Amino acid sequence: MRSPETAVLDGNDAVASVAHRTNEVIAIYPITPSSAMGELSDEWSAAGKTNIWGAVPRVVEMQSEAGAAGAVHGALQAGSLATTFTASQGLLLMIPNMYKIAGELIPFAMHVAARTVATHALSIFGDHSDVMACRGTGFAMLASSNVQEAHDFAAVAQAATLSCRVPFLHFFDGFRTSHEINKIFLLSDEDLAEMLDENLISAHRSRALSPDRPSVRGTAQNPDVFFQAREASNPFYLATPEAVERAFRKIEELTGRRYRAFDYAGHPEAERVIVAMGSGAETARETALYLAARGEKVGVVTVRLYRPFCAKAFAESLPSTVRAIAALDRTKEPGAVGEPLYLDVVAALAETLTPGAAAPLVVGGRYGLSSKEFTPAMVAAVFAELTAKSPRRHFTVGIEDDVTHLSLRVDPSFDTETEDVFRAVIYGLGSDGTVGANKNTIKIIGDDPKRHAQGYFVYDSKKSGAVTISHLRFGPREIRAPYLIRRAGFVACHQFDFLGRIDVLEAAEDGADFLLNSPYGPDDVWDRLPREVQEQILEKKLMFYVIDAYRVAREAGLGGRINTIMQTCFFAISCVLPSDDAAERVKDTIRKSYGGKGGEVLKRNFAAVDAALANLSTVTPGRAETGVPRQPLVPAIAPDFVQRVTARILAGEGDALPVSAFPPDGVWPVGTSRWEKRNIAAEIPVWDEQLCIQCNKCALICPHAAIRAKVYEPRYLSAAPATFKSVDFRAADYAGHRYTIQVAPEDCTGCSLCVAFCPAKDKANPRRKAIEMQPQRELREAERANFDFFLSLPDPDRARLRQVDVKGSQFFAPLFEFSGACAGCGETPYIKLVTQLFGDRALVANATGCSSIYGGNLPTTPYCTNEQGRGPAWANSLFEDNAEFGLGFRLAVDAQAEHARRLLIELAPVLGNGLAEEILEAKPADDAAFAAQRDRIDALRHKLAAVSGPEVRRLEILADALVPKSVWIIGGDGWAYDIGFGGLDHVLASGRDVNILVLDTEVYSNTGGQQSKATPFGAVAKFASTGKRTPKKDLGLIAMSTGRAYVARVAMGARDHQTLKAIREAEAFPGPSLIIAYSHCIAHGYDMAFGAEQQRLAVESGAWPLYRFDPRRIDAGQAPLQLDSGPPKIKLEDYMRNENRFRALERLGPDAYRQALVEAQAEAARRYELYRYLAGYGATTEGRP
Amino acid sequence: MDLSTTYLGFKLPHPLMPGASPLVDDLDSARRLEDSGACALVMRSLFEEQIVHDEMAQHIHLDAFGNSNAEAISYFPGPSAFVLGPEEYLEHLMRLKAAVRVPVFASLNGTTPDSWMEYARLIEQAGADALELNFYYFPTDPAENADDVERRCLAIVGAVREAIGIPMAVKLSPFYSALVNFATNLERSGADGLVLFNRFYQPDIDVEELEVVPRLRFSDSSELLLRLRWIAILSGRVGTSLAVTGGVHTPLDALKAVMAGAHAVQMVSGLIARGPGYLGVVRNEIARWLESHGYDSLAQAQGSMSLKRCPDPGALERANYMKILQSWRVTSVASPGEPERSKR
């Protein structure tokens, strides 16, 4: 046995490390939480890292997981060792190929970060619902419980599949294992070489497709033979458990780590046994050992080889004394007798029990769906249930089920944590670098040969101002504990404002250290603390420290990056390392983390580290009564549901909500984001009404609907707060009206896009604009009152606003507000504009991605309603099917309208007065006409109420369908260009009236910037780490080729009036329309405040030509394509240089960059010429513009 | 015709070289310059300010998004792949050295005395044959006086001199109140050469948008006059090599620079406008001119029109201004691009 090398890494890294070294072809597609495995593989291959046979694996990103599975299948059939990584819906898309690969007995090990399959809701978190959906495929299934096992079993799966030819699905819990950082012992290249038998690899190759020894595969078979041929694979499955055992023994021989298909741990004479797999089994094992050491006869069987399920080996793993078994499933199969593992256990016992012997009682429990915490206390509750006279056959644990009453009662005080483990809980902001620094801390401590370290990170679902909670454990022995820390000796809060809304000290144990980043010093801070915090500090006798880390960071020239400062304080206070040593070690990791970023970053961070200790102070607690109690998170005027449910989730108490609190079908109320006042902006825009030219561009570009315009009659101002600003509205048809630009101070993210986009400068002092950023804290109270007053002003009558230009559009209430999108998001302004124009009659089908996360991720959602209670009806189906999903809306709406029209014709005589005819003949095209039609429908309803008959009742239900609906299909480029392209193509060709809005960020933004086919030539992205070598796919041109679709390419930051025009034309077009909208994104690598400016440069450089294509123009003898931007005015480089995605290429190699520039410039010129040609095509002389 | 000259201790076949500019940013163009006869290549300046700006922008705008969302630990491929900061420059220097045979001169603009030294060392290690220190600096602080500015420059020159062994030139702007004294002090502090003068980006004003628009205008021959005068004044009075940069567009421009006292003549705008091959044209034209005018070598002309040796030194000093005004005529206005003809 060699002396093992250790490393501190997460589960994805641990698995990819083995998979990359033991494969030749890797086909992937990004999906949380497995994306990192593919990304790491790509980075390693790009850096020339080889597998154990000296070759660099080929990594290819496909258009979907179905594509990745197909590519892998082909690579395997052609004789290579191939792998893939996926999760959840991605795994489901692979299932058809998995059946094939298993049926063909091809050695193949795939790695799955097991994740919840979307049902009533999407969840990115972990459970076994995805892998359980693969039970029928014929894949062997191997489950890892922790990071070490994930590393080891990646090798076991590869070794076993080569030996038995049955393909393997190796899985580990998404997030809990894939994202947990832990110290593990690494398998060396030599270890891997010893595990993988060369002869078996040769055998695989010799079976491959080859014209030198041709064979035919994938035949179609008939009833006469299919069945027998299918049974012919049985011996391979029978041999699989033994193949796995051999690999387990090999790894034991090489490393000393012992694994079995079913591993028992606990009391040797256990009477109560839990059977589980994945990280939950780890918690169960730890708890069983804890209880057994205290004399309880309990134990746990950890299932490692789940398929093929070897009943005999399972039965043999159980102590003979067992009387009751709880099989725990991290999945739900509604309608089944029980969940899969439960059924397997029941069946295995039934098959293996000696006839006449007393069978143990088997019960089944569900736990941990969507990464729900599974703690030792819950395990203890399960063991406790097994002591009952008649334990519940089926139960849940970890939630309160007050509907079907299945849940077990849990004693929250039960705790198995030991005192020799140091535990820290640290609250940070996503953008302050807390998690990154904590990962470094774990590495620093984990590098010590005598110590072990574990880290797990909880993120909220917001893309701006996200709260992160780091859970760190350090100790002398291996640390498993796959659950959050409930008792910490160190708690840090890196954001002072969190104290007002989060109970950060909940986990602090008595005498713990509490570190606070505070703008107030040791002498002033006490009285500024909320009373609850003061009370906890006193009650728990906490040691309290403060540092003004933002000041230290500012002085060191680090902006808002406080992470290394707080990290240094952590070491200084916690004494986990001697403090002199600690500062040096922090600097070491800074060097490692940022070394590639150049000397200045290091210098400034080093200076910050040195300054940290000098600025850290101890606080002497005062009296508790001086603090102001925390304010309720939502105001008393919020709706009941928001009070009962949303507010609890916001407070971090979602775990405590019972089953009855929730809609059972995933249908939630809209407009809840307005109740979540996040106060994340350090600075907010302030309006200068004298400088303002009343163009409303600030409201247009705001990604969060946090700056708004209104025109109203002056009489309303009598009730205005003192600081409310108002000015005469400059428009002839609104003479005497007043005008206000108002910021929503607590919803603004402080991105300052509005300021950058504002065209109004002070002529005497052009540095000043009509909106300027100013510190939020001082403005908060006054502007909150002003915004409330602003909302109370009536919206202008839509029917009266005849001019729907950029300015006019911004007087329409946004029906999409305060989303969780990134500060400065380039997508949301388009969505907001669509809701302003058509939101009251829009149905929105939203592809999975950023727009579905900021559009529909709990706790609060942004789509909302107007004064009449109408607003966008929004739904997300999947990533891949969005165009089809939206088409379904259209079909349904049309079918119902048709039905309603038929009924109306039938009932016309009853209704009289020509009302039916008026309704039937109305073709509303503007707001006034829509209002008139709605009035008619109201009149219709009124009349119908007085009439009886089944048709009348049916028409009452269907009457709303007589107001035409606007169907919107919204998604990102990953959906439109790649995974959903087939459906998009079909819908475009369908001729149906749908409006497709593609928010083109040119990468998969939501999963972290992987290239899509929309990525432009030369851009560096994940899976294009040396710059994309192919041009951006011209989706617009493809759409034009259908000849039936309206197509537009827009960039709001460049030409807002063209954007508006295109959106209105698209909506009015009576067939499919496609709008491709340039959306700047944090994945482009620059300050989003300049997003609109970059859009302008993109258009002026020819990188993003603007056009509108209307096939109807052909009939009018005009060219269908209208170019809305001229030939390139500036060099493409002037646009590209500002964005890191392009600049990164220059850093990789100036020659390659220049070459890319030349090619990109040529490509832009070619494309422009093509468009110019097309813009003249099809036009007759008189029609030519 | 023997056009050889000695500049910064290098014995060069002629004085013509491309000045610090993007001209040698790619190897192809560098090779073409060498092929057309450039006697040395001067790289564009490594601007520490730019490096710091880039590094910090990346640190603030990219790193800030990492580890902030459950679905995306980062938004870019691993950082190990990126070369940032001075490495980018140094790598290019090394590639350039490997690609050409002529000496390669690097150029540096630092911000602090430490960083000047640090980068100078790195540049020397990367193989530069000589270094131009580019004092591109705008003293906008009212508390900083002329003496402060000069002292700071001299300290940097002294420090860099100690840090590196390769020859070192100092590139100056014309905006020093006592240039000759300053030049003497630079020599004393260890400068091996002086390069006159830097051309600055010249911010323009966009009256529509009320914005300051940075512009870099190409030079023309009219800009040469200022350089000729100061080279002529310094020639023979300082012991350093002298180079002219800015305004050399024609063979006669180059010849004048040499006559004023330049050991090296740097061209940028002319080469950008007419291509790298133009350098060879200028060289051949100079040779032809010298031949047709009966010169033995370029050395004979070198410094012939300096303050020390020209027939009318007063013309280079105070009286010059008056004389031009007195002889002012509409026809004598030099139209851009045609300075030679208008003079005649």
Query: Domain holding B238: CATH number?
Result: 3.20.20.70
Question: Which pLDDT score, from 0 to 100, does residue A598 have?
Answer: 62
Q: Is the pLDDT of residue B81 over 60?
A: no
What does the alpha-carbon distance between residue B32 and residue B29 come to, in Å, rounded to a whole number?
A: 5
Assess B83–A contact: CB distance below 8 Å, yes or no. yes
Question: Six-digit token pair at A828?
Answer: 């949301």
Residue B337 domain flag: no
Question: Which pLDDT score, from 0 to 100, does residue B342 have?
Answer: 35
CB within 8 A of B224, min separation 6: which ones? B244, B246, B247, B248, B249, B253, B256, B257, B339
Question: Which pLDDT score, from 0 to 100, does residue A465 have?
Answer: 87
| Coarse DSSP helix, strand, coil percentages of chain B, rounded to the nearest 5 percent | 45, 15, 40
**Shortest Cα distance from A561 to chain B (angstroms)?**
7
B107, β-bridge pairs: B45, B132
Active-site position among A23, A32, A97, A861: A32
| Top-level class of domain A262-397 | alpha beta
Q: Which of A1096-1110, B38-52, B314-328 has the highest mean pLDDT?
A: A1096-1110
**Shortest Cα distance from B100 to chain A (angstroms)?**
16
Q: What are phi and psi of A499, to 5 degrees?
A: -60, -30
Question: Which pLDDT score, from 0 to 100, does residue B85 have?
Answer: 66
What does the alpha-carbon distance between residue A675 and residue A660 come to, in Å, rounded to a whole number?
A: 22
Degrees to nearest 5, angle at CA A683 with A680 and A685: 115
Residues of chain A with confidence (pLDDT) below 50: 1181-1185
A301-314 exposure pattern, b = at least 16 Cβ within 10 A, e = fewer: bbbbbbbbbbbebb
Q: Are A837 and A804 spatial neighbours (Cβ–Cβ below 8 Å)?
A: yes
Residue B259 domain flag: yes
Assess B56–A contact: CB distance below 8 Å, yes or no. yes
Contacts of A1008 in chain B (CB under 8 A): 71-75
What does the alpha-carbon distance between residue A760 and residue A774 come to, in Å, rounded to a whole number?
A: 17
Question: Which pLDDT score, from 0 to 100, does residue A1023 have?
Answer: 94
What does the alpha-carbon distance between residue A552 and residue A640 come to, in Å, rounded to a whole number?
A: 44
State yes or no: is A626 an active-site residue.
Answer: no
- The one-letter code for the residue type at B202 is Q
Q: Where are the alpha helices (DSSP H) in B262-343?
A: 269-274, 278-292, 298-301, 313-316, 319-326, 339-343
Q: Is the pLDDT of residue B336 over 50?
A: no
pLDDT in tens, B235-247: 999 999 999 999 9
Contacts of A113 in chain B (CB under 8 A): none
CB within 8 A of B158, min separation 6: which ones? B189, B190
Helix (H) or strand (E) holding A231: helix A226-231
**Closest CB to A1140 among B58, B71, B118:** B58
Q: Nearest residue on chain A to B57, judged by CA atoms? A: A1086
What does the alpha-carbon distance between residue A1047 and residue A1041 come to, in Å, rounded to a whole number?
A: 10
Residue B323 domain flag: no
Long-range contacts of B329-337 (CB under 8 A, 24+ apart): B334/B221, B334/B222, B336/B220, B336/B222, B337/B220, B337/B221, B337/B249
Q: Are A525 and A619 spatial neighbours (Cβ–Cβ below 8 Å)?
A: yes
**Helix (H/G/I), strand (E/B), else coil: B104:** strand
Closest CA to A491 of A449, A434, A445: A434
Tell me how far the alpha carbon of residue A820 is from its chain's centroid: 11
A1140, B61: Cβ pair inside 8 Å?
A: yes
Distance linking the first and last C-alpha atoms of chain B: 27
| Top-level class of domain A817-1185 | alpha beta
User: Checking DSSP bridges between strand A298-303 and strand A262-266, what pairing results, if any?
Assistant: antiparallel
B56, B58, B71: best to mutate for the A interface, most A CBs within 10 A? B71
Following DSSP, what letter does each residue of A264-292 receive, concatenated? EEE-TT-SEEEEE-THHHHHHHHHHHHHH
Residue B340 domain flag: no
A431, A597, A680, A1003: best to mutate for the B interface, most B CBs within 10 A? A597
CB within 8 A of B18, min separation 6: which ones? B24, B33, B38, B41, B42, B266, B267, B268, B271, B276, B279
Q: Give the whole-number percent of chain B exceeding pLDDT 70.
A: 90
pTM: predicted TM-score of the whole model, two decimal places: 0.93
Contacts of A1087 in chain B (CB under 8 A): 57, 60-61
**Closest CB to A1009 among B51, B76, B84:** B76
DSSP state of A644: I
Chain A and chain B share a number of CB contacts under 8 A equal to 170
Residue B35 domain flag: yes
**Closest CB to A600 among B56, B69, B75:** B56
Residue B339 domain flag: no
Question: Which pLDDT score, from 0 to 100, does residue B334 have?
Answer: 38
**Shortest Cα distance from B200 to chain A (angstroms)?**
20
| Homologous superfamily of A422-626 | Pyruvate-ferredoxin oxidoreductase, PFOR, domain III (3.40.920.10)
**Helix (H/G/I), strand (E/B), else coil: B131:** strand
Domains A6-210+234-254 and A262-397 agree in fold: yes
Active-site position among A115, A561, A1049, A1096: A115
Strands (E), A556-706: 617-619, 683-687
CA dihedral A802, A806, A809, A814 (to 10 degrees): 180
Q: What is the arithmetic mean of pLDDT over B300-327?
A: 73
| More confident call, B26 vs A282 | A282
Distance linking the first and last C-alpha atoms of chain A: 81
- The one-letter code for the residue type at A20 is H
CB within 8 A of B342, min separation 6: which ones? B331, B332, B333, B334, B335
Question: Which pLDDT score, from 0 to 100, does residue A593 have?
Answer: 77
B68, A435: Cβ pair inside 8 Å?
A: yes
Q: What are phi and psi of A141, to 5 degrees?
A: -125, 125
What does the alpha-carbon distance between residue A1059 and residue A1107 come to, in Å, rounded to a whole number?
A: 10
Contacts of B80 in chain A (CB under 8 A): 43, 47, 596
Angle between helices B278-292 and B251-260 (to 10 degrees): 60
Q: Are A662 and A754 spatial neighbours (Cβ–Cβ below 8 Å)?
A: no
Active-site position among A12, A39, A61, A65: A65
Q: Are A239 and A246 spatial neighbours (Cβ–Cβ below 8 Å)?
A: no
Q: What is the arithmetic mean of pLDDT over B84-99?
A: 86
Following DSSP, what letter does each residue of B194-255 receive, concatenated? EEE-------EEETTTTEEE---PPP-GGGHHHHHHHHHHHBTTB-SEEEEESS--SHHHHH
Contacts of A1140 in chain B (CB under 8 A): 58, 61-62, 76
A111, β-bridge pairs: A85, A170
Domain definitions of chain A by residue range: 6-210+234-254, 262-397, 422-626, 668-812, 817-1185
Q: Is the pLDDT of residue B341 over 60?
A: no
Question: Six-digit token pair at A953?
Answer: 């009742």
Closest CA to A94 of A80, A82, A84, A105: A84
Residue B204 domain flag: yes
A36, B59: Cβ pair inside 8 Å?
A: no
Following DSSP, what letter does each residue of A331-385 receive, concatenated? S--TTSSS-HHHHHHHHHHHHHSPTTSPPPEEEEEEE-GGG----HHHHHHHHHH
What does the alpha-carbon distance between residue A742 and residue A759 come to, in Å, rounded to a whole number?
A: 17
State which residues form the domain around B206.
5-312
Q: How far is CA A521 from CA A502, A547, A552, B344, in A?
A: 21, 7, 13, 76
Question: Six-digit token pair at B245?
Answer: 């940069």
State yes or no: is A32 an active-site residue.
Answer: yes
What does the alpha-carbon distance between residue A77 and residue B98 come to, in Å, rounded to a whole number?
A: 47
Question: Six-digit token pair at A717?
Answer: 């101002």
Residue B58 domain flag: yes
State yes or no: is A1042 an active-site residue.
Answer: no
Question: Which pLDDT score, from 0 to 100, does residue A1088 have?
Answer: 94
**Shortest Cα distance from A600 to chain B (angstroms)?**
6
Domain A668-812 fold: Alpha-Beta Plaits (3.30.70)
Question: Which pLDDT score, from 0 to 100, does residue B329 have?
Answer: 42
Structural domain tally of chain B? Answer: 1
**Closest CB to B80 among A596, A766, A1008:** A596
Helix (H) or strand (E) holding A755: helix A753-757
The verdict on ipTM greater than 0.85 is: yes
B75, A43: Cβ pair inside 8 Å?
A: no
**Helix (H/G/I), strand (E/B), else coil: A595:** helix
Q: Nearest residue on chain B to A849, judged by CA atoms? A: B71
Q: Nearest residue on chain A to B64, judged by CA atoms? A: A431
Contacts of A494 in chain B (CB under 8 A): none
B26, A1150: Cβ pair inside 8 Å?
A: yes
SS (H, E, C) A995-1012: EEEEEECCEECCCCCEEC
| Homologous superfamily of A6-210+234-254 | Thiamin diphosphate (ThDP)-binding fold, Pyr/PP domains (3.40.50.970)
**Shortest Cα distance from B157 to chain A (angstroms)?**
22
Tell the burial category of B127 from Cβ atoms under 10 Å away from its Cβ (0-12, 13-18, 19+): middle
Indicate the length of chain B as a whole number.
Answer: 344
- Residue B337: CB atoms within 10 Å: 13
| More confident call, A616 vs B215 | A616
**Closest CB to A1083 among B25, B70, B75:** B75
Q: Nearest residue on chain A to B63, judged by CA atoms? A: A433
State yes or no: is A1006 an active-site residue.
Answer: yes
CB within 8 A of A349, min separation 6: which ones? A311, A315, A325, A359, A360, A362
Angle between helices A1140-1148 and B48-61 (to 10 degrees): 130
What does the alpha-carbon distance between residue A498 and residue A460 come to, in Å, rounded to a whole number?
A: 13
Helix (H) or strand (E) holding A469: strand A467-475
Whether residue B311 has a cis bond before it, omega within 30° of 0: no
B55, A601: Cβ pair inside 8 Å?
A: yes
What does the alpha-carbon distance between residue A1131 and residue A652 come to, in Å, rounded to a whole number?
A: 50
Q: Are A124 and A176 spatial neighbours (Cβ–Cβ below 8 Å)?
A: no
Q: Where are the alpha helices (DSSP H) in A793-881?
A: 806-809, 828-838, 850-856
